[in-house]
A and B are shown apart, each in its own frame.
Chain A
Amino acid sequence: MIWENIKIAITSMVHNKLRTLLSLLGIIIGVGSVVAILNLGQSVSESINESMQIGGIDMVNIFPTGSARELNVFDEQFGDTLMRNVEGIESVLPAASSSTRIRSGQEILSVTIGGVTSNFFDVNSAELLYGEYFSANDNINRRQVVVLGKDVADELFPVGNAVGSYVSIFRQSSRRYLVVGVLDEKDATLGTSFNNSVFIPLNTYDQRFRRVSTLSSYTCKVADGYNPTAVADEVEAYLNEIVGSDYFTVFSAASLVDMANQVTSTFSSFLAAIAAISLLVGGIGIMNIMLVSVAERTREIGIRKALGASPRVIMMQFLIEALTLTIIGGVIGILFGSLLSYAVVNVVGWQLYFSWSAIVISLGFSAFVGIFFGWYPAAKASKLDPIEALSYE
């Protein structure tokens, strides 16, 4: 019976192609925009996530600010203190950085110089191109050794291998540093840029640069299985307790991503809700065509009743017709919306992520619109008096 009704519905749709299309336009546009908006929202979130995946998503950075040094909190032991008090931190890397100039032969470059511990490279997964990292011993003994970023090495040593050469690093007077390694190319993470930096042991840095250093920081690596955003929040809470919010800034890529995702999802839900209103307007179009259809087919309804169709059967026939109509409209809308989002994504250059939930939701919504707006016309049809319907011209 359902199948027969769908066949009847499709026959009458094919019979009135233009009229059907026009009355479906509201549904098509509504579903199309909901799908397009949700697909695009999804693609935006995914592309944000992806760009953050390159590095730093599992890091929480702490930047002491103002006169924090006077508090005697941010010292060598701070990392251990922090790990004892906040769960989910695998390691804490103290680091300091400032800018300086570096010379080899006639070449002089302005670079960022970082004072870091020996495990800094490993934690940040900075790979070596040549040579090796400096060691913990180098740090303890304040040796004057340096690891160069890729671009710095290329500029200073256009030919040959930099490892084993000496460079001069300026700070008031210049000092000679032995190049022990060159880093491979690496995209900047939040907090550190690698290609344009040089890295020396933290203790060496302390001795030579501390007095003039503008910024030092701690990079916490979040242990596997812990949510970086949550860890960042805990770190912040802990620091608030011991030093107060004026003396530090906590920064994590993950919370940025969370925030961006939240904004995109709020925004796209909001747009989708607006688009859903056009679905409701589309529903009125459906009600209209169904009322026309019932009026036009009054005689058919009379005949069907004379042949033994109960009011319920007639009601079902027209409800199924309305449902068929809106679901076909929904499917066309989904195709249309997907094409639209595909086109936009191609132009902007993101990757398309299909929001399956958008498809399920909009199909469900179309069906709901069909039943809701088809109900009244169908009820009207089912209540027709058979004799009056049969004598309808």
Chain B
Amino acid sequence: MDNVIELVNVRRYYLVGDFCVKALDGVSVNIRRGSFTAIMGPSGSGKSTMMNLIGCLDTPTSGFIRIDGEYTNNLSEKELASLRNRKVGFVFQQFNLLGKQNALENVMTPLLYAGVKGHERRERAEALLERVGLKDRMKHLPSELSGGQKQRVAIARALVNNPSILLADEPTGALDSRTGEQIMELFQDLNDEGRTVVFVTHDRGLGMRCREQVYIHDGKIVEGYER
């Protein structure tokens, strides 16, 4: 039972005026190390909310979250930042690359925050860019890259500090189906190499290719996919 992610009765409520939005309403999930999990559900069901909680970008209204053995309750902003830096690699739908930095600098950034020395930063970033097939695009700015290439840079960046989990929130959402397919294959390869991948998708077909599925509806885990 090696669970790299554990959520215990997690709630995340938003107060909007007098109205309480229950984005997550008592979710308990375990995700095993080395698994490839799809999180599926209709729009607004709370998928991104759950990803942000797992990635320590957000803190729950109540409940416990444990990431790679570390409880996240009561951690300071600084400790949460360090946890994000060491344990979590994020891949976003909108790529979220730093626009004024080239591909290499983008990939080196998490290492900068981890305090890794200059030459080692460069070596590791170059190796990963090579791994995702962008050996000849290292000095390109994001604006000079295609959508698929941007997402590869983002994946290299997510992996560079060797995190315990790779979180991808609709990573193929902004790509055409053929490029999306390539990105999906890259994730599958990474999982084959032993990475834990959590993958949010709208696409039922892509979701079914993952080894595990978690269905979510109105902030709750449900059995099977509901429309």
A residues with a Cβ closer than 8 A to B are 1, 4, 8, 11-12, 15, 299-300, 302-313, 386-387, 390
Which A residues lie within 8 Å of B99 (CB)? 300
Among A306, A308, A387, max chain B CB count under 10 A is at: A308
What are 7 A-B contacts with C-beta separation under 8 Å? Answer: A303-B98, A304-B98, A305-B57, A306-B55, A308-B110, A310-B82, A313-B113
Interfacial residues of chain B within 144-168, with CB under 8 A of chain A in the complex: 157, 161
Excluding A305-B84, A308-B114, 11 further A-B contacts by CB distance (< 8 Å) are A299-B96, A300-B98, A306-B84, A307-B85, A307-B109, A308-B86, A313-B113, A386-B57, A387-B57, A390-B92, A390-B96
Q: Is the CB of B96 within 8 A of A310?
A: no
Q: Does B127 contact A (CB under 8 A)?
A: no
B52 (CB) vs chain A CBs: closest residue: A387
What residues on A are CB-neighbors of B84 within 8 Å? Answer: 305-308
- CB nearest neighbor in B for A305: B81
Find B81's partner among A303, A309, A387 (CB 8 Å cutoff): A309
B83 to chain A, nearest CB (A): 8
CA distance A291 to B112 in the complex (A): 25
Bound form: Cα–Cα A309–B57 in Å: 11
Contact with A along B90-123 (1 / 0, CB 8 A): 1010001111100000000110111000000000
Overall SS of chain A's interface: helix
Interface residues of B (CB under 8 A from A): 52, 55, 57-58, 77-78, 81-82, 84-86, 90, 92, 96-100, 109-110, 112-114, 157, 161
**CB < 8 Å: which of B57, B81, B90, B110 contacts A311?**
B81
Which B residues are in CB contact (< 8 Å) with A300?
Answer: 98-99
Interface of B is mostly: helix
Q: Residue of A at shortest CB range from B81?
A: A310
Contact for A308 among B58, B81, B96, B97, CB less than 8 A:
B81
Specify which chain B residues have a CB less than 8 angstroms from the CB of A313 in the assembled complex. Answer: 81, 113
Closest to A14 in B: B100
* B109 to A, closest residue via Cβ: A307
Q: How far is the CA of A260 from the CA of B86 in the complex (A)?
A: 67
Collect the chain B residues with CB atoms within 8 Å of residue A304's CB. 98, 109, 113
Given contacts A4-B112, A304-B109, A312-B78, is CB(A15)–CB(B100) below 8 Å?
yes
Q: Is the CB–CB distance between B100 and A12 below 8 Å?
A: yes
Decide: A387 near B100, CB < 8 A? Known: A310-B81, A312-B78: no
Residue of B at shortest CB range from A311?
B77
Q: Which residues of A contact B82 (CB under 8 A)?
A: 308, 310
Contact check: which of B57, B112, B161 meets A306 at CB < 8 Å?
B57
Known: A313-B113, A387-B58. A308 touches B52 (CB 8 A): no
Inter-chain contacts of B57 with A (CB < 8 A) = 305-306, 386-387, 390
9 A-B pairs with the lowest CB-CB distances in the bound complex, closest first: A308-B85, A310-B81, A308-B113, A310-B78, A307-B110, A386-B57, A308-B84, A303-B96, A309-B113
